[in-house]
Amino acid sequence: MKKIYGSLGFKLIITSMLLALVTISLGGVMVFKISEDAIKVDAQKTARDLAREISSFKSEDENAGSAVLVDALTSMKVDKFGAAWVMDRNGFLIAHMDPKFRNMVEAQTYIGDTYVNLNVAERPIQQLGEKNMVHKAKLQELLEKFDGGFGEYTLLGDNKIIAFRVIKEKGWLIAVDQPKSTAYSELDRIKRVIMITCVAMAVLVVAFTWFAMSIIIRPYYKEQEESNRRLEMMNQELTASRKKLEKAGNSLTRLYDLSIAMQYSGFLESHLPLVLGVAQERFDVDRILLMMPDDEGKTLRCRASVGNVFESEEKISVPLSSQGGAMARVFMTKKSIHVDESNAVPSDLRLLAPQSNIRSLRSKSFAVFPLCTKDRVIGVLGVDNKMSRRPLTSDDVEAIENFAYKMASLIENTIQVQSIRKAAQELENRDRLTGLFHLRHVKGLAEEFIATSLRDKVPFAAGLVYLANFKEYNELNGYQRGDFVLQKTAEMLKGQEVMGVVPARCFGATFLALFPGKNREQGQYLIDQLMKDLGTFTFYGEKRLSDGHLSFKISVLEYSRDSGQSFDEFFSNLEALESAGQS
């Protein structure tokens, strides 16, 4: 036995130690590589953002060392990466955010012959030579051959990392750099932490394994012999119960398959009777009723039933009050109730008229279980053997109670699947930027409104709102500001939903508003109110536009019920009005 202990302990120690060290080492290497890559990615992203900002400069802002150019370098907040600077196509330093380099900028210092050990470049590595090799190139060569990249270089005696982007049309190389010692200081700290952790884990593994050998493994072998004797005694009982377990296993398999199908299909109503049917076979009861509260939360209504049910499920209900008997009590207290024929049903558990006349709820021997999820009760499960008069044993009650808890989780998950699918469908029908319905979905709604207009002889109108100088605004202020204009317009248009308006975004800077039940004058009034609200709001940079403000074009048209037009034809007429210049 001691040989077993020693051999097993040695194997446990070696295996545990290797597993811990390999896991920590792999995790550490991954963290190290991810951190190293993150430094490169962040540096390149900053260079891209800086290049994008500078590329939008007008010609008067492009003078070497201009305050506008220096302000742009400073505004990008690249302090985390050291400094940002600009070199022209001739290799001269023309702007630098660090004041101590201003003299070099003013003197137009030539730095184009500075060598860079290039690690990453926006060009296939196969064109540079062999894979995984560092390639050396001058700064001026980078400007001529690449669009951007990352590497290391030495400037004024400092070894630094550099990320750069090339603006071809201006002939500029935009770069951000940082001393290598600062950039990779965190990586050195990660290395030390990994090494210390590996050593600490090795010591802990050894200590814990020997502790487990003394406290767990040795007593386990003694208990194992006793367990073998108990298992031999239980073998006869297991053999006798095998047939019963096989039957229960088949029922549980069917129950599991049905529950999975219900949960992933989201079809609660159609699958509940099937699940209860298998449960009835599994627990060998005459009747099962599943009751859930209505939308108002005042009544428990039957959602599914199997067995000897004498009324339709729509007629089986109990109030959530003292008149609701045992089912209402279980729902409100979250505690199971079991009543057998040996005792009379307590008065506080009896149903009062008119529910006492429902035959499916009348029984002298029954059990009711709450359907509990994590934080609430979603219904109750009632079972009885009124016809067979077979008593419900304590084992039966315990098994059905466990089933009730699992049934509650199953129903809750299925309801969540239904809500998620509904939310996904709603999200699919909306424009991601503005949150309004997109044109494809709103066309279907409009066809329904037209059908209602024809059937009930009620008016239907629609309006278009178009930002005429939106392209100019985007070019002057950037796409993020433009997106805000669209979102704000959509927000104000959405505010009219309380008036029955159905807003949508057609395309670009064009919005559509449907006015079901309203004529052209009413629709025009609502559009005018929108224009007033937009007029009181000042958008950033709109005074720089040629018109001095954002220009909205609107058109409103009422559907003619005698025209027989489809919505596409009606929408074409509405677009023609807008193109004609109605505003």
Q: For 536-559, what is the mean pLDDT? A: 86
Residue 159 token pair: 């070894």
pLDDT in tens, 240-299: 666 655 555 555 565 555 555 555 454 556 667 777 777 777 777 888 888 888 888 888
Residues 374 and 449 in one domain: no
Residues 368 and 508 in one domain: no
Identify the band that residue 129 occupies on the pLDDT scale cut at 50, 70 and 90: very low
Higher pLDDT, 14 or 287: 287
Any domain includes 224: no
Any domain includes 569: yes
Residues 163 and 45 in one domain: yes
Residues 408 and 460 in one domain: no
Any domain includes 89: yes
Any domain includes 203: no
Range of the domain at 107: 2-186
Residues 500 and 560 in one domain: yes
**Where is the domain boundary, 138, 163, 186?**
186
Q: For 330-337, what is the mean pLDDT? A: 85
In contact, 339 and 349? CB cutoff 8 Å: yes
In contact, 302 and 317? CB cutoff 8 Å: yes
Any domain includes 243: no
**Where is the domain boundary, 423, 458, 485?**
423
Question: In CATH, what number is assigned to the domain containing residue 107?
Answer: 3.30.450.20
The domain total for the chain is 3
Q: What is the mean pLDDT of the chain?
A: 78
Higher pLDDT, 8 or 239: 239
Supply the pLDDT for residue 429.
79
Higher pLDDT, 172 or 3: 172
**Where is the domain boundary, 398, 423, 448?**
423
Count Cβ neighbours within 10 Å for each residue of 469-497 and write b for 16 or more, e otherwise.
Answer: bbebbbebbbeeebeebbeebbebbeebe
Residues 397 and 467 in one domain: no
Rounded distance, CA 221 to CA 365, Å? Answer: 49
Which of the residue ranges 147-151, 153-157, 198-202 has the most confident prediction, judged by mean pLDDT?
147-151
Residues 151 and 299 in one domain: no
pLDDT in tens, 411-446: 777 777 777 777 777 777 788 888 888 888 888 888
Which of the residue ranges 7-11, 54-58, 83-87, 413-417 has the most confident prediction, judged by mean pLDDT?
83-87
pLDDT at residue 459 tops 90: yes
Supply the pLDDT for residue 125.
44
In contact, 198 and 25? CB cutoff 8 Å: yes
Residues 178 and 292 in one domain: no
Higher pLDDT, 503 or 392: 503
Any domain includes 357: yes
Any domain includes 361: yes
Q: For 5-18, what is the mean pLDDT? A: 62
Of 291, 268, 296, the residue nearest 360 (C-alpha): 291
Residues 412 and 443 in one domain: no
Residues 407 and 537 in one domain: no
Residues 180 and 54 in one domain: yes
Any domain includes 128: yes
Rounded distance, CA 113 to CA 550, Å? Answer: 49
Residues 166 and 66 in one domain: yes
In contact, 98 and 83? CB cutoff 8 Å: yes
Supply the pLDDT for residue 148.
87
Residue 400 token pair: 């059905």
pLDDT at residue 510 tops 50: yes
Q: For 394-416, what is the mean pLDDT? A: 80
Q: For 74-84, what is the mean pLDDT? A: 65
Supply the pLDDT for residue 65.
46
Which of the residue ranges 8-12, 412-416, 480-484 has the most confident prediction, judged by mean pLDDT?
480-484
